[in-house]
C-alpha cells in the first residue's frame, strides 16, 4: 500500500515544463548515458543470435538506470551514472516490469496496423501511455512489481499529483509526434534513433519532476509475506553500500576524488542511519590502495560528529586519521571547535598534532 502524507497539488509553470523538456539534453551525465545505451542497443541489433543474449542483460540494466534517474529527479539529486552493478541480472529482475507496458503498446500498434479494431487499439495505446508514469513512479520507490501494477496504487498516485500528472505523458506524446514528423520529412535515421532514446529518458525525468513539484512523499507498506528478515535487509544494505563504494573507487582511481566523494555522500543521505553509513564507508575507504580519499571524507565525517555532540567518536576518528597521516587536519572551520573538545577530554596529543 502507498501512502501520501502531502496532499498538495502543484501545477508546474510553462517555463518549468520547458526547462524539464530540455533537461536531459543539458545534463552531460544524462547525455553520456543516452549515447552509451544507444550504442549498446545498436550493437545488439547487429549481433544476430548473440544479440538476444546481450539484450537479456542490457534491457533490465537500461530500465533500472531509468528508474534510478526518475528517483533522482523526484528528490532533486544529481542524475546517476551507469555502472556495472546495473547489469547484474539477479538484482534487476524487478526492473523488467515496465516491459509489460511496452508489450501492450506493441500489441496496440499491431492491432492498429492490421486494421483490427483500430479505435480500440488507439484507446488502449493512449490509456497505457497515461498510466505508465504512475506505475513507474511506484516501481522506482518500492521495487515491487506487484505494487506498481496495483490499479488502486496507480490511481492514488495520479490523484495525488492532480492535473500536473498529465504533463509527463502528454508532453512525451507531443515530442513523439514531433520526431515522427521529422522522420517523415527525411531526418537521418541516426538522429531519429537518438530522438527515440531521448523520448524514453524524457518520460522518466518528467515523471520525477512532477513528483518533485508536488513534494510527493511515498511510504512503503508491503504485506508481511513479502517482507525480508532483518538479516536479509542487513545483507542487502551491505551489498548496496559495497556497490556504491566500488563505483566511488572508480571515480577516485581516475583522479576524480570529488566525484567519488559526492557519489558516496548522495548514497549516505538516502540511508536511515547516516551515522552507521559514515562509519562503514570510512572503514571501507581505508582499505583502498590510497587513503587520501578516506582522509578527505573523514573531514566531512568529523564535521558531522562535532556538530551532533558525538565527541568521543570524533576524537577516535581524528586519532585514526592522524595515525594514517600526521599531516591530516580537520576542516578549517571545525578546528577551533575540535581543539575545544580535545581539551575538554584531555587529549593533549591530538591538540599538539593538529596545531603542528
pLDDT for residue 294: 93
| Selected residue with higher pLDDT from 150 and 113 | 150
Sequence-distant (≥ 6) Cβ neighbours of residue 254 within 8 angstroms? none
Q: Looking at the DSSP assignment, which residues form a beta bridge with residue 219? A: 3
Sequence-distant (≥ 6) Cβ neighbours of residue 120 within 8 angstroms? 111
pLDDT for residue 291: 87
Query: For residue 147, what pLDDT band results from cuts at 50, 70 and 90?
Result: confident
60-85: per-residue pLDDT in tens? 788 888 888 888 888 777 887 887 76
Number of neighbours of residue 19 by Cβ within 10 angstroms: 13
| Selected residue with higher pLDDT from 348 and 230 | 348
Task: Report the mean per-residue pLDDT for the chain.
Answer: 78
Q: Which residues of 155-164 are buried (b: 16+ CB within 10 A; e: fewer)?
A: ebbbebbeeb
Q: Is the pLDDT of residue 295 over 90?
A: yes
Query: For residue 116, what pLDDT band results from cuts at 50, 70 and 90?
Result: low
Query: For residue 280, what pLDDT band results from cuts at 50, 70 and 90?
Result: very high
Query: For residue 171, what pLDDT band results from cuts at 50, 70 and 90?
Result: confident
Q: Which residue has the cell 504512475?
A: 134
Query: For residue 88, what pLDDT band results from cuts at 50, 70 and 90?
Result: low
| Mean pLDDT, residues 298-313 taken together | 91
pLDDT for residue 221: 36
| Mean pLDDT, residues 326-346 taken together | 90
pLDDT for residue 232: 41
| Mean pLDDT, residues 329-347 taken together | 90
pLDDT for residue 122: 66
Domain residue spans of the chain? 2-225, 229-355
Instruction: Say if residue 14 is exposed, middle or buried (CB neighbours under 10 Å; 0-12, 13-18, 19+).
Output: exposed
**Helix %, strand %, coil % of the chain (to 5):** 75, 0, 20
pLDDT for residue 330: 93
Query: For residue 264, what pLDDT band results from cuts at 50, 70 and 90?
Result: very high
Percent of all residues in the chain with a pLDDT value above 70, rounded to a whole number: 79
151-165: per-residue pLDDT in tens? 887 888 888 777 778
Q: Is the pLDDT of residue 224 over 60?
A: no
pLDDT for residue 338: 92
- Residue 340 phi, psi dihedral angles, 5° rounding: -65, -45
Contact 29, 82 (CB under 8 A): no
Q: Is the pLDDT of residue 296 over 90?
A: yes
Query: For residue 285, what pLDDT band results from cuts at 50, 70 and 90?
Result: very high
Contact 65, 37 (CB under 8 A): yes
Q: Looking at the DSSP assignment, which residues form a beta bridge with residue 2? A: 220
| Mean pLDDT, residues 297-319 taken together | 91
Q: Is the pLDDT of residue 89 over 80?
A: no
Cα angle: 83, vertex 85, 91; to 5 degrees: 145
| Grid coordinates belonging to 155 | 490511481
pLDDT for residue 278: 93
Q: Is 216 left (phi over 0), alpha (psi -120 to 50) or beta?
A: beta
Show the DSSP H helices in 46-150 as ranges.
Answer: 49-74, 89-92, 98-113, 118-142, 145-148
Q: Is the pLDDT of residue 310 over 60?
A: yes
| Selected residue with higher pLDDT from 78 and 214 | 78
pLDDT for residue 95: 65
pLDDT for residue 236: 73
Query: For residue 3, what pLDDT band results from cuts at 50, 70 and 90?
Result: very low
| Selected residue with higher pLDDT from 2 and 242 | 242
Query: For residue 186, what pLDDT band results from cuts at 50, 70 and 90?
Result: confident
Amino acid at each position: 500500500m502507498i501512502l501520501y502524507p502531502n496532499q498538495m497539488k502543484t501545477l508546474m509553470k510553462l517555463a518549468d515544463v520547458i526547462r524539464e523538456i530540455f533537461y536531459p539534453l543539458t545534463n552531460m551525465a544524462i547525455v553520456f548515458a543516452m549515447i552509451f545505451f544507444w550504442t549498446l542497443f545498436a550493437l545488439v541489433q547487429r549481433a544476430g543470435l548473440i544479440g538476444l543474449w546481450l539484450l537479456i542483460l542490457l534491457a533490465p540494466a537500461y530500465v533500472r538506470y531509468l528508474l534510478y534517474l526518475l528517483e533522482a529527479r523526484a528528490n532533486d539529486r544529481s542524475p546517476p551514472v551507469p555502472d556495472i552493478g546495473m547489469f547484474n541480472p539477479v538484482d534487476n529482475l524487478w526492473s523488467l516490469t515496465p516491459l509489460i507496458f511496452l508489450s501492450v503498446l506493441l500489441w496496440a500498434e499491431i492491432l492498429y496496423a492490421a486494421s483490427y479494431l483500430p479505435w480500440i487499439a488507439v484507446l488502449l495505446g493512449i490509456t497505457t501511455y497515461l498510466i505508465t508514469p504512475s506505475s513507474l513512479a511506484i516501481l522506482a520507490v518500492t521495487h515491487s512489481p506487484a505494487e506498481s501494477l496495483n490499479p488502486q496504487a496507480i490511481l492514488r498516485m495520479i490523484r495525488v499529483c492532480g492535473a500536473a500528472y498529465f504533463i509527463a505523458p502528454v508532453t512525451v506524446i507531443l515530442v513523439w509526434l514531433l520526431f515522427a514528423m521529422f522522420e517523415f520529412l527525411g531526418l537521418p535515421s541516426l538522429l531519429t534513433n537518438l530522438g527515440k532514446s531521448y523520448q524514453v529518458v524524457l518520460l522518466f525525468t518528467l515523471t520525477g519532476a512532477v513528483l518533485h513539484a508536488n513534494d510527493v512523499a511515498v511510504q512503503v507498506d508491503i504485506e508481511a509475506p513479502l517482507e525480508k528478515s532483518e538479516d536479509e535487509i542487513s545483507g542487502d544494505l551491505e551489498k548496496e553500500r559495497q556497490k556504491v563504494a566500488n563505483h566511488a573507487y572508480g571515480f577516485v582511481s581516475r583522479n576524480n576524488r570529488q566525484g567519488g566523494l559526492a557519489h558516496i555522500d548522495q548514497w549516505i543521505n538516502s540511508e536511515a542511519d547516516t551515522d552507521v553509513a559514515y562509519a562503514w564507508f570510512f572503514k571501507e575507504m581505508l582499505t583502498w590502495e590510497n587513503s587520501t580519499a578516506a582522509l578527505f571524507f573523514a573531514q566531512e565525517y568529523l564535521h558531522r560528529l562535532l556538530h551532533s555532540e558525538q565527541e568521543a567518536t570524533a576524537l577516535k576518528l581524528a586519532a585514526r586519521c592522524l595515525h594514517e597521516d600526521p599531516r591530516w587536519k580537520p576542516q578549517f572551520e571545525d578546528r577551533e571547535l575540535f581543539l575545544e573538545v580535545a581539551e575538554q577530554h584531555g587529549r593533549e596529543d591530538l591538540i599538539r598534532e593538529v596545531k603542528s
